[in-house]
Amino acid sequence: MKTVFYTITDALGLHARPAGMLVKEASQFKSNIKLIGPAKEVDAKRIMGVMSMGVKKGDAIRLTIEGEDEAAAAEKLEQFLKENL
């Protein structure tokens, strides 16, 4: 299992556009990917779950990735978070 930690720096938090982009990125991998925020844990491949988290600027999030392509998924998703959030 791989884990990615990130603190949201985007002034708007995890809003609709980056949430959709995150789900699209996560969906490219076979691994099971969970997004864990301050208040809840959701499947990172489900847009409604990601949108329901209400993650704001300054919130710490964590991605847990488990499966056959977890190393590639962790690298790609960490890069995505740094570039978009």
Q: What is the pLDDT of residues 31-85, one digit of tens each?
A: 999 999 998 999 999 999 999 998 999 999 999 999 999 999 999 999 999 998 8
**15-30: pLDDT as tens digits:** 999 999 999 999 999 9
Report the pLDDT value the prediction gives residue 71, as an integer from 0 to 100.
95
What's residue 3's pLDDT? 96
Separation CA 65–CA 18 (nearest Å): 19
Distance between CA 66 and CA 83 in Å, rounded? 23
Cα 2 → chain centroid: 13
Which pLDDT does position 7 carry in this prediction? 95
Rounded to whole angstroms, the Cα distance separating 25 from 54 reads 19
Query: What is the distance of C-alpha 43 from the center of its chain?
Result: 9
pLDDT of residue 82: 92
* Domain ranges, residue 22: 2-84
Stretch (H or E) spanning 41? strand 41-43
CB 26 within 8 A of CB 77: yes
Q: What is the CATH number of the domain that holds 78?
A: 3.30.1340.10
Active site residues: 15
Task: Provide the number of structural domains found in the chain.
Answer: 1
